[in-house]
Structure 1
């Protein structure tokens, strides 16, 4: 593929495509470095509410000094397209790793404790991720973790966003806290809930709730207790409480 120009960036290779945009390996011609460049969907260009929050929360994420938050070099809009310029990481996302099966409990704890550190730092700065899921967790060959896409996810229950099954929501619903399905205010607890869903999947190799559409998943999150990981995987130790 021939590189194409996007402002000062040369887009060299697509690294990933999802409901909230494309990630490219790109060359920043101003600083002569390779970066991961996220281009948000064009249909968000006409949403001033989202664009305002995107800039505000990208600014907060860019100034966080927590090592497990992906470093953000730049963000903004070029030719009407919102973008984020991030560090290019040599690694795989957690969803890719889980495609090979569940992780040992000790490795799960080691990885997700780093995610928890990133979320704790963000919450201390009043920043809620909103979209904690395996594909937003990058794991390097040495098992160092980066959390990406702070502030990008839409508030599904807001009055400006309809609850429809699109590419932007299908991958997220499996990890979405119940209050995200409503119009009530959200805080860092939605990220804690999502991280618990990721924890269950790491230990068992399967999503915590079964369901392929919005009604089924909404009902499950609201009313169904997920199975204990120790009931699904023999190598997973039981949690003893007194």
Structure 2
């Protein structure tokens, strides 16, 4: 458990969205903090993963949290149960997750070596969870001892947590997000250093984690990037690890991904005592594959109905020899065999067996978010349909000192999706602040600038058809360099629900590009305050906004509106905390 700090977003005792009472903070990360809370309705313990304030409006971090939310589709005891994202009235975004009570493998690591028997149990359990995730084309990319919890301390109840990639501030847990690498150096597979991830990277990370817990210490990865690369090219040292754990770890942690188990299912087969060198666990050989005639014929006639070749489990028994009249049938057998070969080749092409490129996993929904905040570098996060598009987008980001976290995937998108997306980004990136959010073929585009020539240029690009085959309407804003305070008065009058609202320190000459807008007064609820903030944000552009109002409630606001104002008096009212030696409580708020 971690001690609370005054700067934490939530404190013990806080009630989130009128449902979850915060009990403690579980951990802090670079982009989010995790709290333990209890539902006041059901009494159920939950974990709240809350984006830090500075990231709660950042599209790429919201997309990472949305990716993690997609885990709720997976129902497996070895994967923590995810619920959905919520936003508090003051704009903070959090993800609701089941609370898993038990030590993490990182805590067990600090306590010393674990037994080989317990690690084999954990290996089986976690592999089952990975198999469920990989079947939905979801890869963890950051599997390590701190992301595996032993519920009630039981290895047979290991649970995988934290499928979101973000920077971890804990010493020795350098999780990097970018176009080059995502994961922890100590447990990442060698190919992850080049930004390549698939099911086999998770298998490597699991093997490295198990080996670390067997030894009771983290792997030695070197003291600089060059040593990291050199050590990652070497097999992990499994000397003195007992069988069968040693052989399984050797196979899981091979530096070359083609030499590893090719799937979590293959790991489970090995744990069940099946041999490792089964044909479906080794890389494809260069031997010619001939599909059976009926399958090949169907594939040739209806290639769209078959997306992958069925596994060849075993050879069909050889037909019994039949006596034939060689004069009448001498040419029949070669022609028949040739027909099978031709049909097999056609079918194999239709099924992708001879394709030069592997089939990409299907992403649904197909999302990509590219955004540039004010005075910061752009960032791209999400799916792209091919390496050529990914390279072009990465280069575009790098030219502006930006970063990207891209995953190759197929999906329900138009053929020109990649070039159209690049055209849109090229058109809008002159704006001071902009965002392109793609979901399938639907594009949400926003941008703002205080330069009239740039605004006109970007508007002309979209009028000329920059969207291509994508659907959407760009929302472009030309910000005024000086904003007149009078333009905000109608908004304040519209949303005032508990007396007049005012602009604090209202500037006579107007608000400059960096001038903060501070609103004071009284409102009836946090929801009303959030609605006001949204309306003002659209009017003030990128200027800082501070809604500094007192929150009453609807009934008190009604009483306030009809009661006469009390005359000035020398008397005053004070609030004190009776159970704390009558310490002053200037807020007047008391928690029972």
TM-score normalised over the length of structure 2: 0.35
Q: How does 1:106-145 map to 2 (within 5 A)?
A: 106-141=117-152, 142-143=154-155, 144-145=157-158
What is aligned with 2:60? 49
Q: Is the 8 A contact 2:108 2:213 kept in 1?
A: no
What is aligned with 1:146? 159
**Relative contact order, higher structure (CA 8 A, sep 6+):** 1
What is aligned with 2:311? none
The Cα shift of 1:16 comes to 2.2
Q: Is the 8 A contact 2:110 2:217 kept in 1?
A: no
For the residues of structure 1 that align with 2:237 and 2:135, how far apart are their CA atoms? Answer: 32
Q: Is the 8 A contact 2:31 2:55 kept in 1?
A: no
For the residues of structure 2 that align with 1:44 and 1:30, how far apart are their CA atoms? Answer: 30
What is aligned with 2:79? 69
Unaligned residue ranges in structure 1 (runs of 5+): none
Change (3 A) 1:236 1:118: closer
| Aligned residue among 176, 179, 189 for 2:200 | 189
For the residues of structure 1 that align with 2:67 and 2:246, how far apart are their CA atoms? Answer: 42
What is aligned with 1:158? 178
1:37 has 2:48 as partner: yes
Secondary structure of the 1:92 match is coil
The structure with more radius of gyration: 2
Instruction: Report Cα offsets for 1:153-178 as digits up to 9, x if no partner.
Output: 4794634xx87xxxx97xx2211122
TM-score normalised over the length of structure 1: 0.79
| Aligned residue among 172, 175, 179 for 2:191 | 179
1:217 has 2:228 as partner: yes
Say which is worse superposed, 106-115 or 4-13, in terms of deviation: 4-13
1:87 has 2:98 as partner: yes
Unaligned residue ranges in structure 2 (runs of 5+): 1-10, 168-174, 249-275, 278-592
Q: Is the 8 A contact 2:188 2:201 kept in 1?
A: yes
Cα RMSD for the two superposed structures? 3.1
Q: Is the 8 A contact 2:22 2:38 kept in 1?
A: yes
| Aligned residue among 8, 15, 21 for 1:10 | 21
For the residues of structure 1 that align with 2:21 and 2:208, how far apart are their CA atoms? Answer: 37
